[in-house]
Structures are given as C-alpha cells and as structure tokens.
Amino acid sequence: MQFLWTTLSVSDFEKSLKFYQEVVGLPLQHRMDPPGMHIAFLGEGDTAVELIYDSKRPQVDLKAPISMGFKVENLAATMEAFQARGIKIDGGPFKPNPGIQFFYVRDPDGMNIQFVEQGR
C-alpha cells in the first residue's frame, strides 16, 4: 500500500495555497476549479498535500490536535528566515532528544505545521 496524499479543507483557498507554496515550500502539482470548489495538489515525489475549498462548506473547524511535519536542513536558519518575513513561530524550538529538533507555525486555518531538523 502506498500513501498518496493528505487532504485539508481550507476556509480561504488562495491564502492557504500561498502559505503552502511560499512558507512550506511545496510546489504546485496541479489545480482544478470545478464549480463552487478549488482543489490543489502540492508537493514533490509520491506524497502530496491536497487543499480543498468548497463553497458549500466554507467554515473549517480543526478540533483534533493534528500537525504535519516537514524536514529542513537547518532549523535555526529556517526560523530566522521565517521571523524576517514576519511569520510567527508558534512553539519551539524543541529538542526532545539529541537527534531531532523542531518548531511550529500555524497555517491559515490554525493547524500546526512542524519544521524538523534531524541529526546532522
């Protein structure tokens, strides 16, 4: 079995698309705009993030404490670059063991996005 994508319902499609492209750094694979909806797949390789905006359900309610993690080469440099762009660091940096450190930001709908540096 192969994991293909994670689907996120979003309340502001363009704002979320910009966040995942410009902040997270995911390239746009393809976009569809059927009536009343916007759908985009972002990422590289076999696994993608799918963003969906549905005008029939414009409100997004993230009750579950979920997060998505993305690997970075240099955590300190990533944090510095985000702060220089005015992106708020929501938590961290945390170093639960010598082999990993990470911090969080929030996406436009409030979901935790984790940036992780694994042992060098």
The owner of tokens 């972002």 is: 42
pLDDT of 72:
96
Q: Which of 63, 50, 58 is nearest to 20 (CA)?
A: 50
Residues of the chain with CATH 3.10.180.10: 1-55, 67-120
Quote the CA–CA distance of 50 and 30 in Å, as a whole number.
Answer: 10
The confidence score (pLDDT) of residue 86 equals 95
pLDDT tens across 67-102, in order?
A: 899 999 999 999 999 999 999 999 999 999 999 999
CA–CA distance, 10 with 62 (Å, rounded to integer): 10
Q: Which CATH number fits domain 67-120: 3.40.50.10470, 3.40.50.720, 3.10.180.10, 3.40.190.10?
A: 3.10.180.10
Looking at domain 1-55, its CATH architecture is Roll (3.10)
pLDDT reported for residue 64: 65
Residue with token string 């963003």: 51
Q: What is the pTM assigned to this prediction? A: 0.86
**Sorting pLDDT into bands at 50, 70 and 90, what band is 17?**
very high
- Residue 20 φ/ψ, nearest 5 degrees: -70, -25
